[in-house]
Amino acid sequence: MTPGSDESKQRVATGLLPGRDEVDEAVAAAYEESRNVEGGDLADHIPSLAEADPELFGVCLAGVDGSIHEAGDADVEFTIQSISKAFVYALVSQARGHEVVRERVGVNNTGLPFHSVMALELNDGHPLNPMVNAGALATTSLVPGETPDEQWHAIRTGLSAFAGRPLDFDEEVHRSEQATNQRNRAIALLLESHGRLDDPMDTAELFTKQCSLRVSAHDLAVMGATLADGGTNPVTGERVVSAEVSRDTLALLATTGMYERSGEWLFRIGLPGKSGVSGGIVTIAPGKGGIGAFSPRLDSAGNSVRSEQFTAHLSRALGLNIFASDSYVPED
């Protein structure tokens, strides 16, 4: 079977979302419950992110049927940051095959912060997973293209296909990140020393650029719904990646998407998700839809406080937790 092909169909066991009115009510209620939640701080390690309006809060749920349910500042744009890691991983797996990416990058949680150097040192230079910065750099280095410009075109085109529209590039945030990404450049050099990537400076720059693409909560919901729908964008109808690649991406997000808080997130919410330090979180209910949320104030692990609260409420209200079940009652 060729990498990322649909030649081998998998059985799936997923249900649909409730009716439109019920979903609208649940999204509105979860938004209202979360909008006044206090706590958290703006990201200050990237100067331009520290200037964000801390009161912005937008949410959206996109169903696999193409339906859209949103509240608040759902169309306000922000930079995608580390959420890009999930979708670049999917694009690379589609192009290279998941075994290549698994061998080069890995699939296990580090249990350490996203920018940890210690994790590399403790594991013989192996990044362990694509959602921490070391693994994301190794993954980005595998993006197809003969030159960095060709790789950048592939990333921007691919993430735009997930969102269903052309994504803009934020020059200001990019310049701000370039001035402060010494740690990522150091990690890239360390990866090179272990034979995990070539051209470390080009890779670090490409990774910084992918994090500077602009999205909204609406965009994140559509991107998540594309993975929920087996790789087909439910708004445009375009197949972006295969069902197998979507499955593998969601498995990784479930165990590593929220860094050292991934276990707590999965225990509380029961869905694969990915956060970014600009305040975005994308969450996926397989076979049902994607949830996008944005609020700039973060907890100590770099996850949006209000976005997490909203997602937890919505998961409970709509019964999205993939681990939930009830007793079997035989029919008479």
Question: Is 108 annotated as ligand-binding?
Answer: no
Length of the chain: 332
* Single-letter code of the amino acid located at 79: T
Q: Please, how many CA atoms are within 13 Å of residue 93, restricted to the half-sphere of its CB?
A: 30
Question: Is 233 annotated as ligand-binding?
Answer: no
Question: Is 331 annotated as ligand-binding?
Answer: no
* Three-state secondary structure call for residue 80: coil
Question: Is 259 annotated as ligand-binding?
Answer: yes
* Single-letter code of the amino acid located at 109: N
* Single-letter code of the amino acid located at 200: P
Distance CA 260, CA 281 (A): 15
Which two tokens mark 31?
A: 């938004």
Question: Is 89 annotated as ligand-binding?
Answer: no
CA-based end-to-end distance of the chain: 45
* Close Cβ partners of 163 (under 8 Å, ≥ 6 residues apart): 215, 219, 222, 223
Query: Tokens 């958290």 sit at which residue?
Result: 40
DSSP state of 63: E
User: Are 46 and 173 in contact, with CB atoms under 8 Å apart?
Assistant: yes
Distance CA 61, CA 27 (A): 8
* Single-letter code of the amino acid located at 177: E
User: Are 17 and 63 in contact, with CB atoms under 8 Å apart?
Assistant: yes
Distance CA 55, CA 86 (A): 26
Q: Any alpha helices (H) in 229-331, and if so which ranges? A: 243-256, 262-269, 305-318
Extended beta strands in the chain, E state: 58-63, 68-72, 78-79, 214-215, 273-275, 280-285, 289-294
Question: Is 244 annotated as ligand-binding?
Answer: no
Q: What residue numbers does the annotated binding site for substrate cover? A: 82, 133, 177, 184, 259, 277
Q: What residue numbers does the annotated binding site cover? A: 82, 133, 177, 184, 259, 277
